[in-house]
Amino acid sequence: MVEQHGKTLVPQIRFAGFTDPWEQRKLGELFEEHSEKDRDDLPALTIIQGGGTVRRDESNRNLQFDRSSLSNYKVVNTGDFIVHLRSFEGGLEKATSCGLVSPAYHIFQGKNVDSNFYYLYFRSKRFIDVDLKPHVYGIRDGRSIDIEGMKTIFIPWTNLAEQHQIGAFFDRLDSLITLHQRKYDKLCVLKKSMLDKMFPKGGSLYPEIRFAGFTDPWEQRKLEDYVAVSTAKNFDGRFNKEDVLSVSGEYGIVNQIAFQGRSFAGSSVLNYGVVNTGDIVYTKSPLNSNPYGIIKVNKGIPGIVSTLYAVYRPQDNVHTNFIQVYFEQHERMNNYMHPLVNKGAKNDMKVTAENALKGVVTFPSREEQVIISEFFDRLDSLITLHQRKLELLRNIKKSMLDRMFV
């Protein structure tokens, strides 16, 4: 985190023009506790850990409080730091608005410091787990912070100009992260909505939203009319443990070792089912919002799966990716499987590969299946793009926090 030349503290990465060594100063020297009260003209605020302060009457928490007691509440100004009831695990929070907070909180104002710079530090793992931890007492949710002890913590200090530069850099980085997070969230909401509106429901044969040119009613048939059970086994030993696949709710069909870090296969994989590209796999085990398992299409290279999975081959009248899209909505998947599955004492799925195909599905023509599948493929690609950008930006932030602080 820092190069130490004797007692000299120098960050690994600095902005041009800054060469002076950093110092370590006590928190109580740089921040002063204050307790201004009797300002019931100001709005009552609530603390959002990692999100600053918001007006209580605008928060989603439905918090009740007696306005007659506001005279005892403490004043916070934008940029003040707040030691709140969960600071022992999340660090100090920074006020993003002016108002009143609970008298149980402790308020600190900086003395000629950049609040963005110190907010980064006060929420860092180093501050919470190393610097602050010795001053936390009590157990579990009853833990509290020894405020006087906290004031003795040595924290990094550099001149105000460098603080401003570093604070502004991370502020811009956080804005980018927030931007991509919002885009990602909006795309996820759009996908959820389209999974509902682009498929018929309530016994209807017509979806609420369709692509131009398609007007025919969808058809209700059993799933076995579209896919067939695959009996292909790895008897010839073509595949080994490195080729074992797993099914993930978020990522689909993945290589087990690459995804989980190890193989969970038995001593022999000769009786494992072969899964070719385009094959469909049903995992007969509960997974998050899918108590009856999930159905995914193998969009990667061929491999093998445990005998606990059912493997299917698509017929010519179905676009294989449409099968995954159709069952991607939790409610549709659960409603389909519920009548077919009996749960065992160990919560395992008592359903054969053949019986899992006995339920009724509502599908359009193959041509419309292709158009719908391609739409969701593009949507998934956009979601993945923003997800990767988010991961990249978060990794950059983590790395820069480590290299730009002492």
Cα-Cα-Cα-Cα dihedral sign, residues 200, 205, 209, 214: positive
- 221 has which bridge partners? 361
- Give the model's confidence band at 50: pLDDT under 50 very low, under 70 low, under 90 confident, else very high: confident
pLDDT of residue 347: 58
- Please say whether the beta carbons of 239 and 274 come within 8 A: yes
**pLDDT at residue number 224:** 98
Q: Which two tokens stand for residue 71?
A: 């005279």
* 64 band by pLDDT with thresholds 50, 70 and 90: low
The mean per-residue pLDDT over the stretch 368-396 comes to 97
Q: Which fold has domain 219-363?
A: Adenine-n6-DNA-methyltransferase TaqI; Chain A, domain 2 (3.90.220)
CA distances from 364 to 18, 242, 331, 357, 368 (A): 65, 38, 19, 18, 6
- Span 138-188, pLDDT tens digits: 887 778 999 999 999 999 999 999 999 999 999 999 999 999 999 999 999
Sequence spans of domains, the chain? 23-157, 219-363
Cα-Cα-Cα-Cα dihedral of 40, 41, 47, 53, to 10°? -160
Question: Rounded mean pLDDT of the chain?
Answer: 92
Range 323-341 average pLDDT: 95
**pTM for this one?**
0.84
Higher pLDDT: 342 or 206? It is: 206
Q: Do domains 23-157 and 219-363 have the same CATH topology?
A: yes
- pLDDT tens sequence across 184-207: 999 999 999 999 999 999 999 999
- As a whole number, mean pLDDT of residues 115-120 equals 96
The rounded percent of the chain whose pLDDT value lies above 90 is 77
The highest-level CATH class for domain 23-157 is alpha beta
